[in-house]
Amino acid sequence: MKENDYDIGPEVCKLAHTIRRMVDSSQRHKYIDNMLGSTNGWVLGYIAKSSGDVYQKDLEKQFSIRRSSVSKMLSSLEEKGLVVREGVKGDARLKRLVLTDKARKIHAIAEEDRAENERALRNGITDEEISAFMSVLKKIEKNAWEQTKREGDNAYL
C-alpha cells in the first residue's frame, strides 16, 4: 500500500459517522439521549468513573472544550437533576461535581450500551491489532494538535 492510498481525515470522519449511526440505532442509546443528550452522557461517564473529585476544569481538559461550553453543559445537567455542584472547604470558588442517584442509574444503562457497542466494534480484531490501531490513532491526534498550535489556536493550552 502506498502512502497516498488513503487520506486520513476523510477516513476518520467516515468511521466516526458509521460508529455514530451504530450507537444511535440502539434503543438504550435513544432512551439515554432523550434523557440527557449525547455529549452530556460522556461527561456523566467521566464523572462516574473518576477515582477522585472532578471539577469543571477537569472536564475542559478531558474533552478539549472551552470553559463557557462546559459551564452551559453543567447548568443543563443541574437543571435536569443529574449533577450537583458542591462547595469545597477552604476555597469558595471551587465546586466539586457530584452525580445524583438519577444520573447514576442513567450511567449504568449507558455502560451496558457502551459495552455492547465495544464488543461489536472489536469483533474479529485481535488485541494486537487494537493496540496498533490505538497507537496510530494517538499519533494522529498528536499531529493534529501540533498543527492546531502552529495555526495559532491556543484555547485549550
pLDDT digit string (tens) for 96-154? Answer: 999 999 999 988 988 888 899 999 999 999 999 999 999 999 999 999 989 888 877 55
In order of 13, 38, 54, the CA distances from 1 in angstroms are 21, 37, 45
Same domain? For 31 and 71 the reply is: yes
Mean confidence (pLDDT) of the chain: 87
- Judge whether 26 lies within some domain: yes
Same domain? For 114 and 132 the reply is: no
Compute CA 143 distance to the chain's CA centroid, rounded to the nearest angstrom.
Answer: 20
State the DSSP code for 3: G
Same domain? For 80 and 148 the reply is: no
- Judge whether 92 lies within some domain: yes
Same domain? For 118 and 130 the reply is: no
| Predicted TM-score of the model (pTM) | 0.62
Distance, CA of 139 to CA of 108 (rounded, Å): 32
Contacts of 157 (CB under 8 A, 6+ apart): 149
- Judge whether 3 lies within some domain: no
Per DSSP (E only), the strands in the chain are 83-88, 91-99
Q: Which residue has the cell 481525515?
A: 9
Same domain? For 76 and 114 the reply is: yes
Q: pLDDT at position 3, please?
A: 61
* Mean local confidence (pLDDT), 39-63: 89
Range of the domain at 150: 126-157
Region class of 124: left (phi > 0), else alpha (psi between -120 and 50), else beta: left
